[in-house]
Structure 1
Amino acid sequence: MSSTVWYTMQNIQSKYSLSERLIRTIAAIRSFPHDNVEDLIRRGADINSMHGTLKPLHCACMVADADCVELLLEKGAEVNALDGYNRTALHYAAEKDESCVELLLEYGAVADALDGNLDTPLHWAAFKDNAECARTLLEGGASPDPRDYNQDTPLSWAAMKGNLESVRVLLEFGAQVRVSNLKGQSPVSRLAALLARGLGTEKEEACLDLLGRAGGHLDLRDQEGRLPRELARDPQLCRRLTQMCAAPPSLRALARCAVRSSLGVRHLPPAVKELPLPESVKDYLLLLD
């Protein structure tokens, strides 16, 4: 390297602290060629320093770098620290990678941490349809039914996007179907609104069926008896869903709903397995039929 190039590099590097170079290296944003995370930490980079709106641990979770997450935690990164949006690293990990989620929980991350909008990591896992992250969070003690600022649950977030696998996981852990937000919207009505916008596929139809079975029957109306206004865009869909909602639930379906509810907030498959019932009935309770 010529003296001119060396001098130029040194001059550029001097403009950034070791801590600033650390987060640039993690994010791979105009990082310096020979910088690496472990060396920067060894040289004194502050792993808990805020840069812009992010801290290094949040950034590592944002790019789903589990090795970097583990290194930062081993070196003393504050696992429940908040970034500029009052989000923890777990909020970012929940969108991206279950390995990062596992590491954070192992180091004491609060599974039901709230951000500035009262969203939990589970809300974001459900919204991004990262079902494995959702499962990891629930196995790590996350509540299946936390409420955000609008009183929406993760199931509602998953339903509004038609995220079938996330809906399936949430129901497996006892998430409640018959819940409403501040506007009277339920997970089912949120999904119906998606269908009415012409965005439905077989996956969304399967999601609607699953929610209907878990709740005993379909119920689209809010507390004042109104249907989702989006249904006005598709009269044919509106008629079909109205007919489905008008059909009285069977005693069998109501019994399934009651038994599932009576088991409380827990992972339902092992709980149902312990019940003195035929295997076919157990499958029915677990929505497997």
Structure 2
Amino acid sequence: MSNEVQIDEYIDSQTTEKLTKLFQFANQEKSEELISRISEIANKKLLSHPHSKGYTLLHVCCLKKLHTVVKALLDLSIDANQSRKECGKTALHLACLSGDLISCHYLYQSGADLERCDKSGNTPLMYASQQGNVGIIYYLLQNNASVNSRNNQQSTALHIASYFGNHESVRLLINLGANIDVQNNLGMSPIHQAIEQKQLKSIETLCKEGANLNKKNNDHLTPAQYAFILQDETIFKYLSIYKKSREITRKGIYKIKTKTFYTILPPICLLISLFCFALLPIYYWAPINTGIFLFYKKKINQFPLNLAHSPAVASFSLSLYIIGFVCNLLTIFKTTIILRPLNSLLYLIFCLLFIYWNIKLMKMDPGFIAKSKFNIIDFLNEKIKLQEISEINNLEICTSCLIRKPLRSKHDNTFDRCIARFDHRCLFT
């Protein structure tokens, strides 16, 4: 499935002079001249005639992303499902390959078959998944394209997206109903395909979306074993840790639910810190407290899966503030409370207010974008009508929330929500 198609080699010098000229204009991306010539010719049979390589003018215009010319051809009732005999690719396959969302829209409106396969059994969705074009994948699936269709090798669009490392496409396909553990004729699941091509981002996405790490291919190899056979230490280590962390999450830690454990751990650390502070000099207390902080951070970071541990992070952050507050307060009581009671009282009030504001800040809405399923069909119709093509070309869709992402927004993994004007999130603030 090559994504590089040279238009020059498709020009057939044996066809009529008019048709040859049209292919030359398409090769040079001269849309206005093409539309003018097409209007003059207005001959459906001639305009549908393939050149020596079997590609028609509609195919070439889809490859070159000339959506205005595609619209002009379709307005003359050119067959939207015409295919190349050698490979069976239709114009929709080629529009998905080139990433031309507008041409895909025009073709579908003109009756293009979303389930039409080429001679390898690949559907348009599979070509869009190969290219990682999230907009086209979303468009095809919103128009009820089958997400679990299989090609001649029994691979699905998810296999192809995983193989080519398009992790955003992987997430979108799964969220729109793709079978995450489906196997092809070699017994390879999507995660096996990603491992084969060393696509770590796709592997991480598949793991977080719940891929079965015990699934075996026809060689009786699990994903971790397959990575070991391929001698990829990074992927093998990641899968081993992930599998272990998933098992710990299922069983719990010391018979306590993982989320609960990470929430009660900070207060315990706080008590240890206060005990050390009360009994030990400051030069002992400081490194011990630092060690507790590093231990907690390591414990959280060793879990690559999405634990949704924001309560634990909030609890730990608050504990740090309380540690600082109590330690400073004890120092003041030892030195200045008798001499300067007013200053000590003000300090106490401001510390309590600071902790209150910190708790309030943790509970504040950081600017969540409302979840409402994005209707890409209405969006395209509106923007094409207003001729706002740049907005279509710059379209961004959140593959988790299934919404159109506004400018500067970003998906926050801690809350699993999109946040407007997202800059960054510090883990322990």
1: distance between equivalents of 2:234 and 2:166?
23
Secondary structure of the 2:230 match is helix
Structure 1 residue 16 displacement after superposition:
4.3
- 8 Å contact 1:60–1:68 — kept in the other structure? yes
Residue identity (%): 22
Task: Please give the residue correspondences for 1:153-164 in structure 2 after superposition, counting only pairs within 5 Å.
Answer: 153-164=156-167
Contact 1:218 / 1:244 at 8 angstroms: preserved in 2?
no
* Structure 1 residues 232-252: Cα deviation after superposition (integer angstroms, max 9, x where no partner): 322453244245346547399
Q: Give distance in 2, aligned partners of 1:230 and 1:60.
A: 45
Q: Is the partner of 1:111 in helix, strand or coil?
A: coil
Q: 1:221 to 1:288 in 2, by over 3 A?
A: farther
Task: Tell me the residue number matched to 2:412.
Answer: none
Query: Which whole-Å CA distance do the structure 2 matches of 1:103 and 1:39 have between them?
Result: 20
In 2: Cα distance, 1:163 partner to 1:110 partner: 25
Aligned residue number for residue 186 of structure 1? 189
Q: Matches of residues 183-262 of structure 1 in structure 2 within 5 Å? A: 183-195=186-198, 200=199, 204-205=200-201, 207-215=202-210, 217-219=212-214, 221-226=216-221, 227-228=225-226, 231-235=229-233, 237-245=235-243, 247-248=246-247, 250=250
Counterparts of 2:162 and 2:184 in 1: how far apart (Å)?
13
CA distance in 2 between counterparts of 1:237 and 1:213 reads 14
Q: Which residue of 2 aligns with 1:43?
A: 41
Shift in alpha-carbon separation, 1:288–1:220, aligned structure 2, 3 A: farther
**Within-5 A mapping of 1:77-156:** 77-84=78-85, 85-95=87-97, 96-156=99-159
Say if 1:230 and 1:112 are closer, same or farther in 2 by CA, change over 3 A.
Answer: farther
Change (3 A) 1:231 1:132: farther
- Classify 1:251/1:157 alpha carbon distance in 2 versus 1 (closer, same or farther; 3 Å): farther
Q: 1:62 to 1:44 in 2, by over 3 A?
A: same
Letter of the 2:25 partner, please give it.
T
Q: CA deviation at 1:77?
A: 1.1
Structure 1's 230 and 110: CA in aligned 2 closer, same or farther, altered over 3 A? farther
Q: Is the 8 A contact 1:112 1:120 kept in 2?
A: yes
What is the rounded CA distance, in whole Å, between the counterparts of 1:176 and 1:233 in structure 2?
A: 28
| CA distance 1:17–1:288, change in 2 (3 Å) | same
**Is this contact kept in 1: 2:101–2:135, CA < 8 A?**
yes
Q: Give per-residue Cα distances to partners, 1:119-153, cap 9 Å, x unaligned.
A: 00110100011111111111122111110111110
Indicate if the aligned counterparts of 1:191 and 1:208 stay in contact, CA closer than 8 A.
yes
- Whether the 8 Å contact between 1:18 and 1:40 is mirrored in structure 2 is no
Distance, in Å, in 2 between the alignment partners of 1:160 and 1:40 is 40
CA distance in 2, matches of 1:219, 1:109: 40
C-alpha separation in 2, matches of 1:91 and 1:73: 16
Instruction: Give the distance between the partners of 1:173 and 1:55, measured in 2 at CA.
Output: 33
AA in 2 matched with 1:94: C
Q: Which runs of 5+ in 1 are unaligned?
A: 1-12, 253-268, 271-286
Tell me the TM-score normalised to structure 1 length.
0.71
3-state SS of paired residue (2:197): helix
Q: 1:180 offset after TM fit, Å?
A: 0.5
8 Å contact kept, 1:185–1:222: yes
SS in 2 for 1:136: helix
Deviates more, 1:167-176 or 1:233-242: 233-242
Residue 38 of structure 2 contacts residue 73 of structure 2 at CA under 8 Å; is this kept in 1?
Answer: no
Tell me the alpha carbon deviations over residues 83-138 of structure 1, each in whole angstroms, 9 at most, x when there is no partner: 13211100011122111111111111101110010000110100011111111111
Give the direction of change, closer, same or farther, for the CA distance of 1:129–1:19 in structure 2 (3 Å limit): same
Contact persistence 1:144–1:154 (CA under 8 A) = yes
Matched, 1:28 2:22: no
1:250 partner SS: helix
* TM-fit CA distance, 1:218: 3.0
Residue deviations 1:45-71 (CA, integer Å, cap 9, x gap): 511101122011111100011101100
Partner of 2:359: none
Distance 2:28 2:79 in 1: 22
CA contact (8 A) 1:220 1:245 kept: no
Q: Counterpart of 1:228 in 2: which secondary structure?
A: helix
Question: Which stretch of the first structure deviates more once superposed, 173-182 or 160-169?
Answer: 160-169
Q: Quickly say closer, same or farther: Cα 1:139–1:14, change in 2 above 3 A.
A: closer
The answer as to whether partners of 1:189 and 1:228 remain within 8 angstroms in 2 is yes
Q: Which amino acid aligns with 1:133?
A: I
Report what 1:260 is aligned to: none
In structure 2, distance between residues paired with 1:129 and 1:28: 26
Instruction: Note if contact 2:228-2:236 (Cα within 8 Å) is conserved in structure 1.
Output: no
